[in-house]
A and B are shown apart, each in its own frame.
Chain A
Amino acid sequence: MSDSGIKGFHLVRYGTPADQKYLARPFLATYDQLVVNANMVAHTPGAIASFILQHMQSKPYFIDPQTHSFQHDISHIESRSEKSAGQIKRSVRKMIESYGEPIKTVVGRNRRSLLPSHLSDGKVVRQFCQRVINFQLEAISAEAEQDEDAKYYRFVREKKKLGKVNFGPSMAIAPYFCMTPATFKDWLKVNIDCATCSLESDEKIGIQVVITRDLLVEPTMCEQLVKAYAKLKPASFLIWVDGFSEHKAALHQLVAFVDLLKQLGDCAPVVNLYGGFLSVALRRCGKVDTLAGVAHGLEYGESREVVPVGGGLPIAKFYYPAMHKRVPFREALRVTKNEGGLKSVAAFHRTVCDCEECKSVIRSDAVSDFEAYGRTHPVSFMRRNQPIAMEYPLPETKDHCVRHYMWCKEREYDIGLSQDKIIDDLKWTERLAGTLDLDTVTYAKTWQLVLGKKRR
């Protein structure tokens, strides 16, 4: 496992600086590795280096270079703030400076999207790959070396004979671009060229494979994709299917996803970069033994669109442990009531959840204490000339929900659920169709089919 650059099964994504308080103690020991996006690193390398050094006890990490962000419409990397509207975001400008040509000219100067033809020259590709890899190797580690705490950290490590201090990532990722059925041939060639050049370096290299959902269900293209990537010998494959929600995906999409994981897994350990409980269960149930890791963000990162989409109105969501899903608070409330979880504090802890957060929140009266996960404040505004009033979660509501989510994830990943428990949970969820609605729980049936525990 250590050669793959993946240091454990449970990976968590550092999304924004606000995530820091959930990544350090008490959650530090609940996951194995951190994934940091390049734009965050470019934006505040010193702050991230300090955070990793001072609060993360040198938790292994790697950086997602996000090279795909230069292939989309330029508006996605432009600032929308009043002061700098229309300019390329500061963090992206820093990435452009670090990655150099051809991005510097095409995107930075000419303000055009990167095309496969811009990466057709072997020399340009080689130099580009080297710069992208160097950025990952040096951005945080160089800052960490300069951090005033570094010398003390080094002293302690050496005294305890824990070996040489290494502030660098556990691996570097080759530049990559998203492939759709329409652009498959062109970007596949570029991706393979970038991967091949990157693998020429002495560093441990992971290959990120990013495809859209419609490509996933194109068997011929997937076959070509696997054939092309199988020739490479990376430390690991990191898979990202655009906007692929395990809860919303149809059976044929999930089956295709499992096939892709298995086929790439035959060549190198695979990681699902945006996954939920199904991915964890695939490994637990022995369906994809080569799945070396599953990454998620803080609540929102179990699926992600390649091109950012609007966030919509934030609503309080509670991760219902037995459903293995975040549901709107009102749905969690309905299920909890029906299951008798509001009868007493003990009943709540027995039937819903007894994680650290739930033990601290639900402690005197289950009926009123449960509100901590759904407390909101009303906001009025106009929509299509109509007055609308909505409820927004309070900061403390989000805080409770994230903490509860992180404890639930620890149980799913690290403590491990038996196959029987997984299937029991899914069968129980299936029966909630009467309490919630079929659309909300239909994934439970689909997942059983995918896990091979139910017949069609």
Chain B
Amino acid sequence: MVRDDVKVVCNVPALGRCIDLAYLRGQSLFSVEFKLHNWRRAIRQARDHCLAADYAYVCMPRRDVGERMLEAFRAAGVGLLFYCEEGDWPFEIIEKAPRSRETWAVARTKLGDYLLTRDRSWL
């Protein structure tokens, strides 16, 4: 994810939740919640990220995805990613996240500032 056009930070606090990974690409803010198995719990957490980010995703290892699971993601307004080890971008989009309709300007600004000031701070 180390690219010039992306600002990225891990473990970002937002409205009482901890976003596993957040990144700024262009003018858009993305949140990513990582989960190995429990996608329902991941959706619940990612849904809260919609209050701060423009797009909220859950990222999981490659797995079978049923229609019921995809429907749950769509209903929550959350996207689904698979983790990819190859290439220069670690995510494959399985279900594209719609732009959040819940974003609260105050939290979004805070998240954006956090990304700008702490870009790659884990490195």
Q: A interface vs B, CB < 8 Å? A: 315-316, 328-330, 333-334, 337, 367-368, 370-371, 374, 376, 378-380, 387-391, 437
Contacts and interface: CB of A to CB of B under 8 A. Distances in A.
B105 interface: yes
Main secondary structure on chain B at its contact with chain A? mixed
A334 B48 CA distance: 9
A330 B10 contact: no
Interface stretch (B15-23, B58-66, B77-85, B87-95): B15-23
B51 A333 contact: yes
Given A329-B16, A337-B104, A389-B11, 17 more contacts: A315-B16, A316-B16, A328-B15, A330-B17, A333-B15, A333-B51, A334-B102, A367-B106, A368-B105, A368-B106, A374-B16, A378-B13, A380-B11, A388-B11, A389-B13, A390-B16, A391-B14
A202 B52 CA distance: 62
Nearest to A368: B106
Contacts of B18: 388-390
A449 B13 CA distance: 39
B10 A387 contact: yes
Nearest to B11: A389
Q: Interface extent on B, as a size class?
A: 10 to 19
Contacts of B12: 389
A388 B122 CA distance: 12
Interface of B: 10-18, 44, 48, 51, 102, 104-106, 114, 122
Given A315-B16, A388-B18, A437 B11 contact: no
A162 to B, nearest CB: 49
B15 A374 contact: yes
Nearest to A317: B16
Contacts of A370: 106
B49 to A, nearest CB: 10
Contacts of A388: 11, 18
A36 to B, nearest CB: 32
A389 B44 CA distance: 19
10 contacts: A330-B48, A333-B104, A367-B104, A371-B106, A374-B15, A374-B16, A387-B122, A389-B11, A391-B15, A391-B16
Nearest to B15: A330
Contacts of B114: 378
A330 B51 contact: yes
Nearest to A435: B102
A380 to B, nearest CB: 7
Contacts of A374: 15-16
Nearest to A342: B104
A304 B73 CA distance: 37
Q: Which of A368, A376, A389 has the most CB of B within 10 A?
A: A389
B11 to A, nearest CB: 4
Q: Which of B17, B106, B122 has the most CB of A within 10 A?
A: B106
Contact of A376 (B16, B48, B122): B16
Contacts of A337: 102, 104
Nearest to A336: B104
Nearest to A314: B16
B43 to A, nearest CB: 10
A437 B15 contact: no
Contacts of B10: 387
Contacts of B105: 367-368
Contacts of B15: 328-330, 333, 374, 391
A391 B13 CA distance: 6
B106 A376 contact: no
A112 to B, nearest CB: 42
B107 to A, nearest CB: 8
A379 B16 CA distance: 11
Contacts of B122: 387
B16 A330 contact: yes
Contacts of A378: 13, 114
A328 to B, nearest CB: 5
